[in-house]
Amino acid sequence: MGSYNYYRMFGCFSRKFKINEAGPPPDVEGAFLNYAEKGTNMMADQFLKFLVDFQGEKDMTLADAERIMQHVHNTKHHLTKNIRKGLSMDDFVHFLLQDDLNGPIKTEVHHDMTAPLHHYFIYTGHNSYLTGNQLSSACSETPIIKALQRGVRGIELDIWPNSTKDNIHVLHGRTLTTPVPLIKCFKAIEQHAFVRSGYPVIITLEDHLTPDLQAKVAEMAIQIFGDMLYYPDSGSLEKFPSPEELKQRIILSTKPPKEYLETKDKVRRTESFESEDDLLVKELSEAELEPDEKCESHGTNEDANGDNCDRPPSEKTCQLVAPEYKRLITIHAGKPKQGLKHALITGTDKITRLSLSEQALQKAATSHGTDLVRFTQKNILRIYPKGTRVTSTNFKPLTGWMHGAQMVAFNMQGHGKSLRLMHGMFRSNGGCGYVKKPDFLMTSGPNNEVFDPKVALPVKTTLKVNVYLGEGWRLDFSHTHFDAYSPPDFYTKVHIVGVPADVSKKRTRIIEDDWGPQWDEEFKFRLTVPELALLRIVVREYDLSEKDDFGGQTCLPVSELRPGIRSVPLYDKKGEKLKSVKLLMRFQFL
């Protein structure tokens, strides 16, 4: 054991570095000695006891333990023919570092999937067809396919007439984005909808079509999706079905057109607003709602009811809408007729989906936070990025989740910290794209009180995190990637992201000149709402003169963490799993 010192010369430059040959961390060695026979070999029954008692895997059987041991022997000793009866210390460490056998979270669906749709957070994309920025990038079915392969369940399509007005294109309207035919997007969804998850895909349509083209959308949807397409026989939902009921089904959601475009009296727009709350409501109800509620016949910035229409009432035409198109819309989107505040407080007469921009959400959360929570107990709320995010960046999703918003819509091509949080949340529940909301977001107290994110709560649990060691950089990166003349200087940052009271940041010390750093450090996080907490982990390489280099990251839902010593695989900046890089960590709830 121990380490060796070496010297490397380059001209006048000299730097000392070491190759680490230290043994396993004390906790790992101690666990092995506690369960192994005479401290030398861990037999199947002893390994099972370790898995059940130390790792908390209560459902493990002796057959499971034997199967894992056989897998370890096959992968570690595949070149030898010796029959091995148990696990040596090296075998034990090898097992601990296999994230496919000993990962940090469950990999199968384990939430109750029989509750109505609005009881779940839903993995949702925004402008799902864009390959890059919001103004000039190409539109394509490829980003839709990638999103579905990752487990995204909410796909957004902006549908517009083509230049000859006889077919439908998907594009970001009034920008320089190049279109893709709707039929290509529908076919991509049909072919890839259920490759990652069998649970329903919701297509939200931002509809800018005339009735004849809406009829063409209906024909296209029926022809391509066939029996996959779900819509209620009665024409409207009485209640939301469950993800389990809707497995292998595709659902359309948009604002259903009225049978006739009706002229609206605009006098109500001149009503007085006496307080800041009322001014907020005016801003929210008129400016901040999803721009998918557009006037289909005029193609301008008015809503489908004709409100704020540029044409005077006398110039409007009454057009019959395509009845088949209207019938296929399962989740009705809409705009509250009497303003957002009224809808939040009194509810709506039918179950619906409302959309708010991130700014509108923030304003509503500040003034009417508990009303938002109460609204999402019966309806679906979708949050989308503000229009100024032209480079396809994203906002922090926690505000939406804290208030029960089911569909926090993200630009999946907008890589960064916010998207990594989204990836982390939807690693929950086997990555199926539906995460059961905590019970406190779906229930009311004896006085009809609901969860209030602003109210400080007592500490519910303490998460203890041990960061033992890391490995794999030498295999996944060139030897000069981090430093041209010596091994890297790694450190690990461990953050909690969640309700404001739970947010916390920690970091290990820097281990200099070592491709296989051992930190063996412990951190404690006091959590008031662990159900909404995410554990964000980032490894960086210290650089004295420039920005520290990126060495891998992951984000894990705290509520899903498996206790015990676990192998934590790391991902690149875009969320793709690195082949070899991983951390050995331990998680305990105190």
**Active-site residue list:** 126, 172
Query: At a CB cut-off of 8 Å and minimum separation 6, what does 219 contact?
Result: 324
Q: Degrees (nearest 5) of the Cα angle 214, 216, 218?
A: 75
Q: What letter represents residue 262's amino acid?
A: E
Query: Which letter, b or e, does each residue of 113-151 get, where b requires 16 or more Cβ atoms within 10 Å of its Cβ?
Result: bebbbbbbbbbbbbbbbbbbbbeebebbbebbbbbbebb
Helix, strand and coil in the chain, % to nearest 5: 30, 25, 45
Q: How far apart are CA 431 and CA 510, in angstroms?
A: 33
Query: At a CB cut-off of 8 Å and minimum separation 6, what does 204 contact?
Result: 154, 155, 156, 157, 253, 254, 292, 333, 353, 382, 407
Query: At a CB cut-off of 8 Å and minimum separation 6, what does 448 contact?
Result: none
Q: Measuring CA to CA, which residue among 480, 466, 461 is closest to residue 532?
A: 461
574 exposure class (CB count in 10 Å sphere: 0-12, 13-18, 19+): exposed
Q: Measuring CA to CA, which residue among 316, 328, 336 is closest to residue 257?
A: 328
Question: What is the distance of C-alpha 486 from the center of its chain?
Answer: 38
Question: What is the distance of C-alpha 141 from the center of its chain?
Answer: 20
Tokens of 367: 């003034």
Sign of the Cα torsion 117, 123, 127, 131 reads: negative
Q: How far apart are CA 468 and CA 470, in angstroms?
A: 7
Query: Which letter, b or e, does each residue of 222-257 get, where b requires 16 or more Cβ atoms within 10 Å of its Cβ?
Result: eebbeebbbbeeeeebeebbbbeebeebbbbbbbbb
Strand order in the sheet with 534-541: 504-507, 490-497, 534-541, 549-557, 564-571, 577-589, 461-471, 518-527
Pairing of strands 250-254, 201-207: parallel
Q: Helices (DSSP H) in 284-416: which residue ranges?
A: 323-328, 340-346, 358-376, 398-402
Phi-psi map region of 520: left, alpha, beta (phi>0 left; psi -120 to 50 alpha): left
Evaluate whether 465 touches 587 at the Cβ level (below 8 Å).
yes
Query: At a CB cut-off of 8 Å and minimum separation 6, what does 302 contact?
Result: 294, 295, 308, 309, 310
546 exposure class (CB count in 10 Å sphere: 0-12, 13-18, 19+): exposed
Q: From residue 308, give the alpha-carbon distance in Å to each of 202, 214, 293, 334.
A: 29, 22, 12, 16
Tokens of 412: 């999946």
